[in-house]
Amino acid sequence: MRMRFLLALGLSLLSVVGCSERDPAAMSSGEGRMGQVNGQILAPLEGATLYVYKKGMDLYGPAFALSRATGPDGAFDLQLPEGDYIAVARKRHNGDTSGPVLAGDNKSEMLSFTVQGDDQKLTVLAPLKTGDERRLTEQASATETGLSGTITDADGNPVEAARVHVYDHVQMSERPKYVSEKTGPDGRFLIFLPEGGTYYLAARDKFGGPPKLGDLYGRYDRGTIEPSAVVVRSKEILQGVDITVTKVW
């Protein structure tokens, strides 16, 4: 009960008027009755975004409905078809609307709610995140351990705005252990690691959930069926770890 109250406290953080995959205005046809969800946060958080998922969706993939960034008052007003939903508020201080939520960003708990046609007033708390298992803190560079290379496409051209995902199991089925910053125009990446070890790498231009049609994706391998292991020694920045990405079809 306490958790539901705190979660219900957080949704108003966001001024919601958009949709990531479908426009809310278009959802009114063939989706049943629409319900209005609105409110205001207790301490307005400007620039936050509300991600709304249908029950059963990947909560780290594309959202069913995505708000615009909130204004100074943190108010939102969103129409959704009747049904059960899960929402989470996120504010990434680098301005991205996708990718990992890092220390220093804001994120609410997952909030379950039901739209039944009547107006609802909801409020969301999105506290500051103080740690992240998939990314390293600013002190990580002191380890002097990491990976560096270039992400290119099938024609050998550098790929901008891609990330390297680092796993510690060859299956690469779990969430990545660490994620790099986005590449620049030269396709170069550098990611620090807390310690040496054996790692497996993938590069992609989207974050969250399995790769989808049209996404750029590639694994680090050396002509093997399984991903090739990368062995990094402590106090070493391993150079030349290059990855080729192709479109998923």
The CATH number that applies at residue 98 is 2.60.40.1120
**Residue 132 within any structural domain of the chain:** no
- Rounded Cα distance, 3 and 9, in Å: 10
Residues 144 and 233 reside in one and the same domain: yes
In degrees, to the nearest 5, what angle opens at C-alpha 33 toward C-alphas 10 and 67? 35
Residue where a domain terminates, one of 60, 91, 121? 121
Residues 40 and 113 reside in one and the same domain: yes
**Residue 229 within any structural domain of the chain:** yes
Phi, psi at residue 191, to the nearest 5°?
A: -130, 130
230: Cβ contacts below 8 Å, ≥ 6 apart: 147, 198, 199, 200, 201, 220, 238, 241
CB-neighbour burial class of residue 148 (10 A; exposed 0-12, middle 13-18, buried 19+): middle
> Domain range for residue 159?
138-247
Residue 15 has pLDDT above 60, yes or no: no
Residue 202 has pLDDT above 90, yes or no: yes
**Residue 27 within any structural domain of the chain:** yes
Assign 138 to helix, strand or coil: helix
Residue where a domain terminates, one of 121, 152, 173? 121
**Residue 195 within any structural domain of the chain:** yes
Strand order across the beta sheet in which 76-81 lies: 76-81, 34-39, 120-121
- Rounded Cα distance, 103 and 244, in Å: 29
**Residue 93 within any structural domain of the chain:** yes
Across the range 25-37, mean pLDDT stands at 57
Residue where a domain terminates, one of 121, 154, 171? 121
- Rounded Cα distance, 100 and 117, in Å: 33
pLDDT of the residue at 7: 39
Mark out the alpha helices in 103-165 (DSSP H runs).
none
> Domain count of the chain?
2
Q: What confidence category does residue 131 fall into, taking pLDDT thresholds of 50, 70 and 90?
A: low
**Residue 131 within any structural domain of the chain:** no
208: Cβ contacts below 8 Å, ≥ 6 apart: 58, 60, 61, 62, 98
DSSP string, 63-86: -SEEPPPP-TT--EEEEEESEEEE
Dihedral of alpha carbons 131, 136, 138, 143, sign: positive
The 10 Å CB-count burial string (b at 16+, else e) for 214-244 is eebbbbbbeeeeebeebebeeeebbeebebb
Q: What is the pLDDT of residues 54-76, one digit of tens each?
A: 988 877 677 888 877 888 888 77
How many residues are there in the chain?
A: 249
**Residue 40 within any structural domain of the chain:** yes
Residues 45 and 73 reside in one and the same domain: yes
Q: What confidence category does residue 44 fall into, taking pLDDT thresholds of 50, 70 and 90?
A: confident
Residues 117 and 142 reside in one and the same domain: no
Residues 37 and 113 reside in one and the same domain: yes
Beta strand pairing call for 163-167 and 146-152: unpaired
**Residue that has been written with the tokens 């129409």 in this structure:** 79
Across the range 230-240, mean pLDDT stands at 91
**Residue 133 within any structural domain of the chain:** no
- Answer yes or no: are the C-beta atoms of 180 and 187 closer than 8 Å: no
Of residues 145, 150, 243, 142, the one with CA closest to residue 191: 145
Q: What confidence category does residue 211 fall into, taking pLDDT thresholds of 50, 70 and 90?
A: confident
- Answer yes or no: are the C-beta atoms of 219 and 227 closer than 8 Å: yes
